[in-house]
Amino acid sequence: MGITHVVFLPDSTLGMWEESMMAADGLEVVRVCREGEAWAIAAGLHLGGAKPVVMIQCTGLFESGDALRNVIHDYKLPLFGVIGYRSYLSQASLPGDTCLTFTEPILDAWKLDYRFIDTPDKLSMMAEHYEQCRQTNQPGIALIAEGKA
Amino acid sequence: MSDESRMLLTDCLEVLKAAREDEVVISVMGTAREWSKISDHPLDLIYVPSSMGQATALGLGVALSQPSRRVVVCQGDGSLLMNLGSLVTITAHAPKNLTVLLFDNGVYEVTGIQQTLAASDFRRDEQSICYASLARSCGFQVVHEFASVDDWQVGVKECLSEDGPVFVVIKTTPMTENLSPKSPGPAAERIRNFAAALQVED
């Protein structure tokens, strides 16, 4: 897929991917302190010729609003994100988690074209959507259902 | 610090312009407003419109993807306060080719010169926040402070060439007129041109 950097803040699900990403040849993991800066870092990487992906939880998507608006809509950069959808598969630890209320409306509000992946058989949609976004030079999101908070 | 020991932003940027060779210069807010008046270089990114606080993060991304180019981020203290964590992110990744110039005027200039919460009037001990100390605590090993144009002229070349990440505090006095930064043209077109210039082999 040609991805060079994953700009990343771990959550309890995506954090389990970090070791594999760190071990992958040709892939740099760029950890951040807060999700908003992930989009600006990815923008800078993209401008310099790299192929970054932002990987954060939906709570970080909420925090990212202005940064996302700026790079995606002001500057029209075709950045791609992988967003963890907190509590979608289980609300055992956070009953009534409002992430379920706001995640998809927020993606719609920011006019982001996303694919929702809630079962293992849909995982191939992530690569397919990424490739489609690259070919059309458009931003995109893979929304990954999570079970842990 | 009294205004007597602070510099004019415009004078400081003129010094940067005179010293600049082929560095990438990312400017935002007040620095963008003034830099766009004196420089029209393909490797300038006048980051207007911006997401306030994100210039350092943008500069980090450019620096990581273009390690053979020096990247200079010009921003104010109000912007930095919006994203202090970015200093820790920068030093964790430690690009040698990144220089952050902090133009510290103690105020949110473009919105009408309101003091930031880091200014002495808001501090119980009446001491403004020391950004040089803050940068050191965030892991910057190369930190400079300048309070006179003469000193800045002497030090600027080193700040643009030494192994970084480099953090530079430049004490300036707030401007008082025509404060709003303006986009010099369509943002998407400008950034495409900037990317094209950036991705040309140097």
Residue B202: exposed, middle, or buried by beta-carbon count in 10 A (0-12, 13-18, 19+)? exposed
- Segments of A1-149 assigned E as strands: 5-8, 28-31, 52-57, 80-85, 114-117, 140-145
Statement: residue B175 has pLDDT above 90: no
Which two structure tokens, joined as six digits, stand for B127? Answer: 């001491």
Q: Which of residues 91-130 of A touch B (CB under 8 A)?
A: none
- Name the pLDDT band for B92 (thresholds 50, 70, 90): very high
Interchain CB distance below 8 Å, B51 and A67 = yes
This model of the complex carries an ipTM of: 0.96
Question: Which pLDDT belongs to residue B202?
Answer: 58
Residue with token string 């259902």? A145
With CA atoms as reference, the chain A residue closest to B188 would be A75
Distance CA B173, CA B8 (A): 6
With CA atoms as reference, the chain B residue closest to A4 would be B65
Statement: residue A145 has pLDDT above 80: yes
Interchain CB distance below 8 Å, A34 and B85 = yes
Question: Which pLDDT belongs to residue B109?
Answer: 85
Question: Which of A28, A44, A71 shows the shortest C-beta gap to B60?
Answer: A44
B58 touches chain A (CB under 8 A): yes
User: Residue A73 belongs to what domain range?
Assistant: 5-145
CATH topology of domain B3-198: Rossmann fold (3.40.50)
Query: pLDDT per residue over B117-170, tens digit each?
Result: 999 999 999 999 999 999 999 999 999 999 999 999 999 999 999 999 999 999
Question: Which pLDDT belongs to residue B1?
Answer: 47
Q: Tell whether the torsion through CA atoms of A22, A77, B17 and B136 is positive or negative.
A: negative
Tell me what the mean pLDDT of segment A63-91 comes to.
96
> In angstroms, what separates the C-alpha of B150 from chain A's closest C-alpha?
33
B52 touches chain A (CB under 8 A): yes
Share of chain A above pLDDT 70, in %: 99
A31 touches chain B (CB under 8 A): yes
Q: How many domains does chain A have?
A: 1
Which residue of A7, A33, A68, A69 to mutate against B (max B Cβ within 10 Å)?
Answer: A33
Domain spans in chain B, listed from the N-terminal domain onward: 3-198
Statement: residue B172 has pLDDT above 50: yes
Question: Which pLDDT belongs to residue B179?
Answer: 78
- Name the pLDDT band for A148 (thresholds 50, 70, 90): confident
Q: What is the CATH number of the domain that holds A125?
A: 3.40.50.970
Tell me which amino acid residue B153 is: Q
Question: Which pLDDT belongs to residue B111?
Answer: 87
Mean pLDDT, chain B, as a whole number?
93
Question: Which pLDDT belongs to residue B201?
Answer: 64
Query: pLDDT per residue over A2-12, tens digit each?
Result: 999 999 999 98
Query: Which has more confidence, B89 or B181?
Result: B89
